[in-house]
Chain A
Amino acid sequence: EAQVTQNPRYLITVTGKKLTVTCSQNMNHEYMSWYRQDPGLGLRQIYYSMNVEVTDKGDVPEGYKVSRKEKRNFPLILESPSPNQTSLYFCASSLSGQGRGYEQYFGPGTRLTVT
């Protein structure tokens, strides 16, 4: 089954404790992206990757890191989480990020709470 998976689905952590949210897709997609969803704000892009070893900042990258060493995986790293990073996070992938309107497939979301 074609899908985007994220782990963990739920995470409660404390301020400053490094964490990684994994994202994996099995569709051989070139493009992957991370979004955060906050009430009343919709979804906002954090980082994206056009292909292996190619990553760039989205609209709200502060406090996050990413890497793309393999085509299928795109982990999101929070080196020193803070309470304002409490949010619902989505990983997404698509065939290409070249603005051709390809459908983005979303993972199930990760609910992160930072206390």
Chain B
Amino acid sequence: AQTVTQSQPEMSVQEAETVTLSCTYDTSENNYYLFWYKQPPSRQMILVIRQEAYKQQNATENRFSVNFQKAAKSFSLKISDSQLGDTAMYFCAFMNYGGSQGNLIFGKGTKLSVKP
């Protein structure tokens, strides 16, 4: 069974600085998808970034980028120029390719606080 581990329960960063959130996963599959979701205090789940395992190029969305290391089964999220609005819980998630369940397997989350 696949598992997703986020080893940092809480992190903080100063506004305008860069922070990296860690995520590792365990799977025997070769093709899959990885996601980072953001959950602000409003509780809404918002997709931040998505990575296909067959793509070697790391995904980037504005200030958000990932470092995808397939051999190490690592998928970290880098937030550049942190803003107060980035304060949220961040969840790393895994989805099998071709599976019939469409299930997202989530890590336990990292609570990020951006300080002024």
Binding site for B on A (CB under 8 A): 31, 33, 35, 40-45, 48, 50, 56, 58-59, 88, 90, 92, 94, 96-104, 106, 108-109
Contacts and interface: CB of A to CB of B under 8 A. Distances in A.
A50 B108 CA distance: 26
Interface string B29-48: 00001000000001111110
6 contacts: A41-B108, A43-B91, A43-B104, A99-B98, A100-B98, A103-B50
B100 A98 contact: yes
A81 to B, nearest CB: 21
A7 to B, nearest CB: 15
B91 A101 contact: no
B98 to A, nearest CB: 5
B99 interface: yes
Given A90-B45, A109-B43, A104 B104 contact: yes
B99 to A, nearest CB: 4
Interface string B84-116: 000000010001111111111011110000000
Interface residues of B, number: 25
B102 A48 contact: yes
Given A40-B108, A42-B4, 16 more contacts: A42-B91, A42-B109, A44-B106, A92-B45, A94-B102, A96-B102, A97-B100, A98-B99, A99-B95, A99-B97, A99-B98, A99-B102, A102-B102, A103-B47, A104-B102, A108-B42
A50 B99 CA distance: 11
A94 B33 CA distance: 14
Given A42-B107, A42-B108, A101 B44 contact: no
Given A40-B108, A41-B108, A97 B43 contact: no
